[in-house]
């Protein structure tokens, strides 16, 4: 795949990889980026990460939070989640405040040591006790769910409680009125 795609360089201004599954997508992108002088992008990684980053920055602004103090939970450990988590770190989210779950459970250092994680998911292994998505979400300020639908089905039943909270209503009111911050007091 790399060799064939690389032959396109003289006639293409950029290459967008699509439908390449992890962990191969990371290696394909890395090889092509190293070999070519044109832009190489993988839609699952870069497009999702850019849009999610914009949403995070807007939410942080609306909620008047400091990005470095956020606790983030990811449902999914594929290309989109891994790239988004990397972007979040570049924005100032502390790596130790990111909890990532794959289809089995939280990515932990124990799982990394036993070889259960690949080189790309290993970077987000946490020192949390082994647990599941529900525990990862508990206490998180941000939930990012670029995963298969079934992995979030059990958690989604909690949404009515979260949506009815006063904080959620306040944010929705600010969005509806176009007010980004509370009015300054004199």
Extract the tokens encoding 137: 């979400």
Question: If the chain, 186 residues long, is cut into consecutive pieces of 10 residues, what is the mean pLDDT of each piece?
Answer: 78 76 76 84 74 87 92 88 91 94 88 88 88 84 74 49 50 54 51
User: How much is the pLDDT for 185?
Assistant: 53
Domain that holds residue 141: 46-163
User: How much is the pLDDT for 100?
Assistant: 92
User: How much is the pLDDT for 92?
Assistant: 95
Same domain, 67 and 140: yes
Does residue 129 lie within any of the structural domains?
yes
User: How much is the pLDDT for 163?
Assistant: 45
Same domain, 15 and 79: no
Same domain, 100 and 128: yes
Extract the tokens encoding 173: 């009111």
In degrees, rounded to 5, the angle at the alpha carbon of residue 179 between the alpha carbons of residues 175 and 85 is: 55
pTM of the model as a whole: 0.66
Half-sphere exposure of 124 (CA within 13 A, CB side): 29
Instruction: Name the β-bridge partners of 38.
Output: none
The per-residue DSSP string of the chain comes to -HHHHHTTTTT-SEEEE-S--TTHHHHHHHHHHHH-SSEEEEIIIIIHHHHHHHHHHHHHHHHT--GGG--EEEE--SHHHHHHHHHHHHHT--GGGEEEE-SSSB-BHHHHHTT-S-TTTGGG-BSSPS--HHHHHTT-SEEE--S-GGGGHHHHTTHHHHHTSHHHHHHHHHHHHT--SPPPP-
Extract the tokens encoding 50: 């850019």
Crossing angle between the packed helical segments 48-63 and 166-177, to the nearest 10 degrees:
100
User: How much is the pLDDT for 21?
Assistant: 72
**How many whole angstroms separate alpha carbon 97 and alpha carbon 85?**
11
Contact between 118 and 23 under an 8 Å Cβ cutoff? The reply is: yes
Crossing angle between the packed helical segments 79-91 and 24-35, to the nearest 10 degrees:
60
Does residue 170 lie within any of the structural domains?
no
Same domain, 52 and 132: yes
Same domain, 34 and 62: no
Same domain, 59 and 149: yes
Number of domains in the chain: 2
Same domain, 79 and 96: yes
Contact between 79 and 26 under an 8 Å Cβ cutoff? The reply is: yes
User: How much is the pLDDT for 109?
Assistant: 92
């Amino acid at each position: 795949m790399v060799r064939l795609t690389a032959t396109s360089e003289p006639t293409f201004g950029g290459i967008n990889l699509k439908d390449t599954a992890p962990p191969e997508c990371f290696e394909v992108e890395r090889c092509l980026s190293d070999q070519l002088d044109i832009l190489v992008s993988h839609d699952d990684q870069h497009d999702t990460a850019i849009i999610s980053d914009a949403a995070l920055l807007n939410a942080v602004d609306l909620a008047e939070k400091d990005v470095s103090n956020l606790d983030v939970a990811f449902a999914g450990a594929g290309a989109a989640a891994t790239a988004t988590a990397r972007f979040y770190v570049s924005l100032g989210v502390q790596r130790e405040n990111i909890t990532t779950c794959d289809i089995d459970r939280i990515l932990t250092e124990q799982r990394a040591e036993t070889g259960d994680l690949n080189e790309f998911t290993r970077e987000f292994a946490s020192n949390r006790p082994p647990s599941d998505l529900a525990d990862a979400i508990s206490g998180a300020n941000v939930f990012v769910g670029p995963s298969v639908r079934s992995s979030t089905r059990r958690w989604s039943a909690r949404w009515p409680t979260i949506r009815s909270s006063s904080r959620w209503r306040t944010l929705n009111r600010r969005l509806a009125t176009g007010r980004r911050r509370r009015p300054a007091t004199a």
